[in-house]
């Protein structure tokens, strides 16, 4: 495809008239653009035994596109007419579809069904019409394939991201045939295209999109294509560019300048602008603040081509603790697990220390404390447990404790890790209580370790499921706590005193075994 033709195609994804916020119409034919994503391969590999496929996610995640791609194979394997938009079905239609799914799970029918549904719609209908289905769908079943695109991070796998970029931006590589253009020898369109197709350019955009996902946004497949198109054209066609007579703010680094843009992905990226990162790099002399900012943005994308693959692009973004988080993720790629007692330095030790500082609520003693007050006591009394030594395992996300040394690293493990308490169930199998640490929780714990002012109340800890994690351990491990504190929080109970209670099991040479209960007044 020639350069001019390619630019016109990209403008259909983000043109001046359509606006980047509207992106591309998912019904638009994607001529010449074909890429196979992991979800498609998973379904192809399982079609022999699948009877029910559910694709759920936001509009633009690629659900309809995937069904269109699979359509021929689905017909061959006897799938019914796909339900391309579950929400568009009548209430009676939805109820009938759920009945068929229930029959499939109960082995009462050999029908095959595939459904595309936006986030939450399918779940709400199940709760309304077939509540028992919820538990059945949560169990492993070779007849069922559920793909939640909302949890997908297209930027977590370098190979997948590169295949999308190359397939979407591919052109003949030749200069524009219109030699009369004043920008013919310095065309921003061509420079952006060539850069984004290079290894360094693709990796720059992948890191940007990955950082967006890690910090809480979901980038859909449609938004990714629109972003790639926008970083080539910035909404201009050749005619407009020539009329304006300027290519200023038309190169890839200008993506950070889109503050106030209607598109939420661009706005989120502008908040990570390397221009606002405090760093010792680029410490040369500049004629203005704006020049310094431009150089920092360029350094993120271009830097030194020889350093590609070694440069810490995450560290150049104005995002707290992102470099430290990536170090931990890389550690668990190589080491599937580590015992908590072995963690004595580095980022993991800081997280370990941050957990302690949060649960101690700023107190100087070293014991971890967990609030677990029975509801019947209301708000007047608070019970708090001082934890003893609990053996923890820090490990790669998705680790199978029956095969802990397995080298396979699932894609999801590239943006989170886990802390687990492992115990033996009554049947002898390992039971696991796990706290999953994503970037959001990682940042919270690093802030705690750095002594930033944080709310240490139970509610704030529960936002990150820290308190409930330790509560579950208390329920499973006998003797997990060394002391229980009872605090009276109501002024009306001021005549009562706070106290602590501990139980000690003593094995004395002369007196034999005994149990001592100690109650102490707390000031």
- Which tens digit of pLDDT belongs to each residue from 10-19? 887 764 333 4
Average pLDDT of the residues of the chain: 83
Measured distance between the N- and C-terminal CA atoms of the chain, rounded to whole angstroms: 78
Average pLDDT score over residue span 306-330: 81
Query: Does residue 27 register a pLDDT over 50?
Result: no
- Residue, of 391 and 353, whose pLDDT is higher: 353
Least Cα distance to 395 among 411, 427, 418, 416 occurs for 418
Helix (H) or strand (E) holding 486: strand 481-488
- CA atoms of 355 and 444, how far apart (whole Å): 9
- HSE toward the beta carbon, residue 277, CA cutoff 13 A: 28
Query: Does residue 24 register a pLDDT over 60?
Result: no
Q: What is the CA radius of gyration of the chain?
A: 28
- CA atoms of 73 and 402, how far apart (whole Å): 36
- Number of Cβ atoms within 10 Å of the Cβ of 289: 9
- CA atoms of 53 and 113, how far apart (whole Å): 6
- CA atoms of 223 and 25, how far apart (whole Å): 11
pLDDT digits (tens, 9 = 90+) for 140-190: 899 999 999 988 899 988 999 999 999 999 999 888 888 888 888 889 999
DSSP 364: S
- Residue, of 61 and 476, whose pLDDT is higher: 61
Helices (H), 236-312: 238-244, 264-270, 289-301
Average pLDDT score over residue span 489-516: 73
Give CA angle at 303 (300, 307), nearest 5°.
115
Question: What's the chain's length in residues?
Answer: 523
Q: Which strands make up the sheet holding 430-438, listed edge to edge?
A: 337-339, 393-396, 416-424, 430-438
Least confident of 151-165, 298-312, 420-434: 298-312
Least confident of 59-63, 91-95, 222-226, 457-461: 457-461
- Number of Cβ atoms within 10 Å of the Cβ of 405: 8
Report the range out of 194-203, 210-219, 254-263, 496-505 with the highest average pLDDT: 194-203
Question: Is the sign of the CA dihedral 176, 180, 184, 189 positive or negative?
Answer: negative
Query: Does residue 256 register a pLDDT over 90?
Result: yes
Average pLDDT score over residue span 327-340: 91
**By CB neighbour count within 10 A (0-12 exposed, 13-18 middle, 19+ buried), where does 25 fall?**
exposed
Q: Mark 161-196 as b/e (b = at least 16 C-beta within 10 Å).
A: beebbeebbebeeeebeeeebebeeebbbbbbbebb
**By CB neighbour count within 10 A (0-12 exposed, 13-18 middle, 19+ buried), where does 469 fall?**
buried
pLDDT confidence of 22, banded at 50, 70, 90? very low
Q: What own/partner pairs with CB < 8 Å and gap ≥ 24 does 494-501 have?
A: 497/521, 497/522, 498/522, 498/523, 500/386
Least Cα distance to 380 among 465, 486, 501, 489 occurs for 489
């Amino acid at each position: 495809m020639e350069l001019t033709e390619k630019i016109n195609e990209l403008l259909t994804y983000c043109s001046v008239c359509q606006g980047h916020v509207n992106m591309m119409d998912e019904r638009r034919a994607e001529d010449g653009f074909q890429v196979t994503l992991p979800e498609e391969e998973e379904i192809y590999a399982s079609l022999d035994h699948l009877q029910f496929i559910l694709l759920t996610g936001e509009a633009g995640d690629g659900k309809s596109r995937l069904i269109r791609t699979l359509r021929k194979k689905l017909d061959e394997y006897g799938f019914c007419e796909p339900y391309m938009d579950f929400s568009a079905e009548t209430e009676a239609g939805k109820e009938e579809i759920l009945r068929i799914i229930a029959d499939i799970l109960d082995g009462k029918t050999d029908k095959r069904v595939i459904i595309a549904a936006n986030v939450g719609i399918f779940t709400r209908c199940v709760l309304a019409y077939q509540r028992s289905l919820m538990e059945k769908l949560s169990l492993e079943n070779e007849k069922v394939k559920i793909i939640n695109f909302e949890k997908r991070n297209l930027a977590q796998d370098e190979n997948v991201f590169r295949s999308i970029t190359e397939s979407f931006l591919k052109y003949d590589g030749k200069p524009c045939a219109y030699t009369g253009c004043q920008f013919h020898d310095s065309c921003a369109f061509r420079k952006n295209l060539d850069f984004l197709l290079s290894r360094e350019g693709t990796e720059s955009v992948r890191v940007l999109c990955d950082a967006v996902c890690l910090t809480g946004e979901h980038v859909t497949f449609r938004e990714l294509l629109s972003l790639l198109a926008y970083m080539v054209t910035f909404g201009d066609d050749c005619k407009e560019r020539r009329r304006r007579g300027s290519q200023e703010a038309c190169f890839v680094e200008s993506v950070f300048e889109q503050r106030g843009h209607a598109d939420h992905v661009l706005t989120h990226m502008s908040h990570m602008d390397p221009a606002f990162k405090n760093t010792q790099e680029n410490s040369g002399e500049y004629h203005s603040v704006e020049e310094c900012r431009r150089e920092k943005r360029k350094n993120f994308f271009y830097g030194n081509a020889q350093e590609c693959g070694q440069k810490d692009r995450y560290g150049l973004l104005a995002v707290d603790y992102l470099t430290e988080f990536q170090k931990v993720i890389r550690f668990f790629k190589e080491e599937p697990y580590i015992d908590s007692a072995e963690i004595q330095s580095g980022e993991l030790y800081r997280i370990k220390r941050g957990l302690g500082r949060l649960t101690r609520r700023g107190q100087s003693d070293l014991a971890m404390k967990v609030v677990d007050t029975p509801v019947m006591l209301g708000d007047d009394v608070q019970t708090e447990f001082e934890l003893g030594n609990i053996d923890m395992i820090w490990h790669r996300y998705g680790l199978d404790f029956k095969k802990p040394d397995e080298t396979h690293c699932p894609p999801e493990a590239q943006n989170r890790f886990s802390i687990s308490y492992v115990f033996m169930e009554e049947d002898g199998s390992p039971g696991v209580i796990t706290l999953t640490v994503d970037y959001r929780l990682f940042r919270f714990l690093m802030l705690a370790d750095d002594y930033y002012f944080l709310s240490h109340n139970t509610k704030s800890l529960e936002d990150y499921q820290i308190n409930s994690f330790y509560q579950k351990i208390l329920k499973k491990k006998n003797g997990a706590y060394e002391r229980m504190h009872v605090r009276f929080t109501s002024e009306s109970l001021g005549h009562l005193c706070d106290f602590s209670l501990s139980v000690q099991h003593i094995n004395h040479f002369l007196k034999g075994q005994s149990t001592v209960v100690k109650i102490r007044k707390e000031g």
